[in-house]
């Protein structure tokens, strides 16, 4: 009989006091069937009560010292753990609440050789599905999404990068990457992959990490039985955060695929955001400005926000 998996949790905070308590309180029940070995809160110099909330909950607090970004806080939190005594580490946002037994189900998914990352089914407060799975980014998919939109493209075969067909979320399986609100990473994969890329202050750091794992033969596995309630960030409504999301998406593609493909991808994204800006979407207007006028990007980031 397999022993219960030993799992540690790293929660990244930045002015997260209003949601952090519920997240931390959900962890013991969420770890039912596994061993919750440690809980670390990596704080990016919050100006609210995030640190006191974490301390009252009994979490180990790692104070990054300044607003260093999501990936830097993840790295600081993982560095505080003794990986020798662990099987996997959950990296999650403070606005997640873990449903009972979900961590154990994710951990069981990682027992299969070759699986390096396991991700849960994300739902809203009302239980409705959040589309969190993604396919490989390609120029073709960016162009299709530019013309017909990501939600529709995701429902038609494999045309879109975003997986939006609800039926795809009913069964377990592989994905190229997934949104980074909650990711359980096997310790052998953690050791091989090394730190998260801190050049992405916010957004695309989880994409880079998952695709890097894929490059090295590690599978990202989706487990629908493991359910996390995710309140969600405001990148869909906040122009500054939306700009950063789009810019980092283009940066990552160019870095991975080189200049010719990167230029085509950039043009496809500009087209899509431009069409939506003309339709009156404020976040798309801000994204177009950030894409075509790099000098305007400075100062668009207030700090790591929940995804």
Per residue in 62-81, pLDDT (tens digit) is 999 999 999 999 999 999 99
pLDDT of res. 67: 92
190-200 confidence digits (pLDDT tens): 999 999 999 99
Res 306 pLDDT > 60: no
Residue 238: pLDDT over 90:
no
| For residues 99-109, average pLDDT | 97
Higher pLDDT, 143 or 235: 143
6-137+161-230: which CATH architecture?
Alpha-Beta Complex (3.90)
pLDDT band at 154 (very low <50, low <70, confident <90, very high): confident
- Percentage of the residues of the chain whose pLDDT score is greater than 90: 85
Residue 234 has pLDDT above 70, yes or no: no
Look at residue 248 and tell me whether its pLDDT is greater than 80.
Answer: yes
What is the 3-state secondary structure of 24-69? HHHHHHHCCCCEEEEEEEEECCCCCCHHHHHHHCCCEEEECCCCCC
Distance CA 39, CA 78 (A): 10
Element (H, E) at 253: helix 239-257
In the block, tokens 């999650």 appear at 92
Give mean pLDDT, residues 204-214.
97
Does the pLDDT at position 21 exceed 70? Answer: yes
pLDDT at 184: 98
Average pLDDT of the segment spanning 84-100: 97
Instruction: Output the pLDDT for position 1.
Output: 57
Instruction: Kindly report which listed range (22-36, 162-176, 221-235) carries the lowest average pLDDT score.
Output: 221-235
At 35, the pLDDT band (50, 70, 90 cuts) reads: very high
CA within 13 Å, CB half, 225: 10
What Å distances lie between residue 283 and 198, 240, 242, 258, 287, CA to CA? Answer: 24, 8, 6, 27, 6
Query: Encoding tokens for residue 53?
Result: 């909330």
Per-residue pLDDT for 231 more than 80? yes
H helix runs in 31-149, sequence order: 50-56, 70-79, 102-109, 139-148
CA distance 98 to 22: 9
Q: According to the model, what pLDDT value does residue 297 have?
A: 53
What value does the mean pLDDT take over residues 176-186?
Answer: 96
pLDDT band at 28 (very low <50, low <70, confident <90, very high): very high
The whole-angstrom separation of Cα 166 and Cα 131 is 8
What's the pTM value of the predicted model, to 2 decimals?
0.92
- pLDDT value for 240: 87
pLDDT band at 216 (very low <50, low <70, confident <90, very high): very high
pLDDT given for residue 295 in this prediction: 62
pLDDT at residue 111 above 70?
Answer: yes
For residue 168, which of 200, 203, 129 has the smallest C-alpha distance?
A: 129
Tell me the pLDDT of the chain averaged across its residues: 93
SS3 of 47, please? Answer: coil
Domain ranges of the chain: 6-137+161-230
Alpha-carbon gap, residue 164 to 177, rounded angstroms: 14
How many Å apart are CA 224 and CA 222, to the nearest integer? 6
Could you tell me which of 60, 58, 76 has the C-alpha nearest to residue 68?
76
Nearest to 139 by CA among 290, 287, 274, 260: 260
Q: Return the C-alpha torsion angle 20, 221, 244, 164, nearest 10.
A: -100
86-107 average pLDDT score: 97
Query: Please, which residues bridge with residue 8 across strands?
Result: 38, 89
The per-residue pLDDT for range 113-132, each reduced to its tens digit, is: 999 999 999 999 999 999 99
Say how far apart CA 143 and CA 90 lie, in whole Å: 34
Q: Is the model more confident about 236 or about 99? A: 99
């Amino acid at each position: 009989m397999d022993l219960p998996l030993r799992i540690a949790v790293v929660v990244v905070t930045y002015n997260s006091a209003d949601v952090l308590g519920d997240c931390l309180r959900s962890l013991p029940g969420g770890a039912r069937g596994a061993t919750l070995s440690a809980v670390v809160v990596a704080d990016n110099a919050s100006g609210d009560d995030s640190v006191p909330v974490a301390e009252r909950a009994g979490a180990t607090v790692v104070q990054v010292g300044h607003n260093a970004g999501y990936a830097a806080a993840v790295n600081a939190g993982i560095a505080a753990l003794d990986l020798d005594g662990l099987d996997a580490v959950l990296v999650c946002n403070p606005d997640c609440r873990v449903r009972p037994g979900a961590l154990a189900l994710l951990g069981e998914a990682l027992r299969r050789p070759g699986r390096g990352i396991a991700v849960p089914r994300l739902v809203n407060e009302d239980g409705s599905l959040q589309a969190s799975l993604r396919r490989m980014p390609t120029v073709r998919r960016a162009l299709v999404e530019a013309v017909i939109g990501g939600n529709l493209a995701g429902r038609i075969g494999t045309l879109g990068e975003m997986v939006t067909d609800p039926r795809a979320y009913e069964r377990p399986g592989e994905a190229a990457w997934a949104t980074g609100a909650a990711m359980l990473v096997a310790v052998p994969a953690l050791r091989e992959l090394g730190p998260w890329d801190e050049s992405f202050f916010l957004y695309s750091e989880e994409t880079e990490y998952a695709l890097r794992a894929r490059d090295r033969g590690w599978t990202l596995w989706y487990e629908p039985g493991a359910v996390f309630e995710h309140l969600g960030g405001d990148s869909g409504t906040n122009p500054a955060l939306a700009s950063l999301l789009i810019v980092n998406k283009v940066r990552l593609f160019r870095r991975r695929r080189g200049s010719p493909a990167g230029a085509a991808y950039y043009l496809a994204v500009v087209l899509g955001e431009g069409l939506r800006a003309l339709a009156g979407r404020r976040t798309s207007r801000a994204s177009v400005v950030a894409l075509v006028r790099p000098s305007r990007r400075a100062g668009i980031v207030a700090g790591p926000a929940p995804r």
